[in-house]
Amino acid sequence: MTGQRTTLPPAARAIVRGDRRALARAITAVENGAPEADLLLRSTYSRTGRVPIIGFAGPLGVGKSSLLSALVTQLRAAGTTVGVIAIDPSSPFSGGSVLGDRIRFERRADDTGVFFRSMASRGASGGVAAATRDVARLMDAAGFGVILVETVGSGQVDVAIREIASTRVVVLVPHLGDEVQTLKAGLFEIADIFCVNKSDLPGSETAERYLSELAGLGPGPDGWRARVVRTSATVPSGIPGLWSAIEEHERFVAGSDVHRQAERRRLSDEIVGRVRDELTRELTLRLEAEAELRRLVDQVVARKLDPRSAADRLVAEERR
């Protein structure tokens, strides 16, 4: 069922009302793929979709969190409420993670206009994108005016930003080596805005020029030419310029047919993906319970039949 405004379940009503604990618990449920998450996401979907999601990706330590903190200060001064999602990779060995982005955040013990949540990527790269999208939807339903997402730009994790952000900021620092690495990692194609942070350090003009030349090679497939801005998160300086560039891109997106198409595409993919997952699960259970599968496996084990032909027989069986 779609969410009718009058039939919100209590936990969803609490989120929409601005109950921060309810939001925090709902995010946990989404991260864990818990059944409660499903109901919440269904019932609040109709209230989502209008909030800008600004993604920040870039190499380790370039100042993404510091930049977000400075942006939040500016946004709060303008009265805008902000949800922040900071993603760090999980260890492939232990599955654990140290989530340290909160450290750089200016202290706001009593400002309820900001909600900050750290998230571990938990392995699968497709998984983190889906979880981030759903967490962003919950923050959207809770009424935050803008959502900022931070990820380390390491190919695996930045899909979250690739797939869900409406504006994508790639953060770099003034050393050519880093930029080249970042471009290799494929971040260049996703950048709507390049942000040369730590511009209080020497070399930022060179980096800006270099990136401007690259961006000047031509607009992307959507017709947007990447902007280059210089900032220093710690001074701070250049923050209003960064925000103007983001707003400019948001306005561009709002009027762009390419982006409307991309949004349709993403939602279509989401639906198809869900159907596929559900049917795959069902089919797997059914096949594994079948005596015919066991007979075929016996033959394959004995090298009397090859796996492809065995699969063909089961497909033919399914289609009958």
Partner 1 sequence: MVAKQRTRPIRVLIAKPGLDGHDRGAKIVARALRDAGMEVIYAGLRQTPEEIVRAALEEDVDLIGLSILSGAHMALFPRVLKLLKAEKASRIPVFAGGIIPDEDATRLRHLGIRAIFGPGTSLEEIVRTAEKLARAPP
Ligand X SMILES: Nc1nc2c(ncn2[C@@H]2O[C@H](COP(=O)(O)OP(=O)(O)OP(=O)(O)O)[C@@H](O)[C@H]2O)c(=O)[nH]1
Contact flags string 44-83 toward Mg ion, x per CB under 5 A: --------------------xx------------------
> Please, what is the minimum distance in Å from the beta carbon of residue 169 to ligand X?
12
Distance CA 145, CA 79 (A): 9
182 binds ligand X per the rule CB under 6 A: no
Torsion angle, CA of 172/177/180/184, rounded to 10 degrees? Answer: -100
Distance CA 16, CA 19 (A): 7
Q: Which residues pair with 292 in a beta bridge?
A: none
Evaluate whether 23 touches 138 at the Cβ level (below 8 Å): yes
Where does this chain touch partner 1 (CB under 8 A) — which range of 104-112, 178-186, 257-265, 298-306? 104-112
Q: Which residues pair with 171 in a beta bridge?
A: 195
Q: CB-wise, 44 or 121, nearer to ligand X? A: 121
User: What 3-state DSSP class applies to 72?
Assistant: helix
Contact flags string 54-93 toward partner 1, x per CB under 8 A: ------------------------------------xx-x
> Please, what is the minimum distance in Å from the beta carbon of residue 83 to ligand X?
17
User: What 3-state DSSP class applies to 223?
Assistant: coil
> Please, what is the minimum distance in Å from the beta carbon of residue 59 to partner 1?
20
Distance CA 21, CA 14 (A): 9
Distance CA 167, CA 191 (A): 8
242 binds ligand X per the rule CB under 6 A: no
Contacting residue, 178, 200, 222, 248, with ligand X by CB under 6 A: 200
DSSP per residue over 141-191, as a string?
HTT-SEEEEEEE-SSSSTHHHHHH-SEEEEEE-S-HHHHHHHHHTTHHHH-
- Pick what 264 binds: partner 1, ligand X, Mg ion, none; C-beta below 5 to 8 Å, kind-dependent: none
110 binds partner 1 per the rule CB under 8 A: yes
> Please, what is the minimum distance in Å from the beta carbon of residue 211 to partner 1?
32
- Pick what 283 binds: Mg ion, ligand X, partner 1, none; C-beta below 5 to 8 Å, kind-dependent: none
Supply the DSSP symbol for 94.
T
62 binds ligand X per the rule CB under 6 A: yes
Q: CB-wise, 32 or 309, nearer to partner 1? A: 32
198 binds ligand X per the rule CB under 6 A: yes
> Please, what is the minimum distance in Å from the beta carbon of residue 97 to Mg ion?
13
Evaluate whether 143 touches 18 at the Cβ level (below 8 Å): yes
Residues 6+ apart with CB under 8 A from 174: 196, 198, 199, 201, 202, 203, 204, 206, 207
User: What 3-state DSSP class applies to 79?
Assistant: coil
Q: CB-wise, 219 or 240, nearer to ligand X? A: 240
Q: CB-wise, 74 or 118, nearer to partner 1? A: 118
Interface residues with ligand X (CB under 6 A)? 60-66, 101, 104, 152, 197-198, 200-201, 232-234
Interface residues with partner 1 (CB under 8 A)? 20-21, 24-25, 27-28, 31-32, 90-91, 93-100, 102-103, 107, 109-110, 115-118, 120, 122
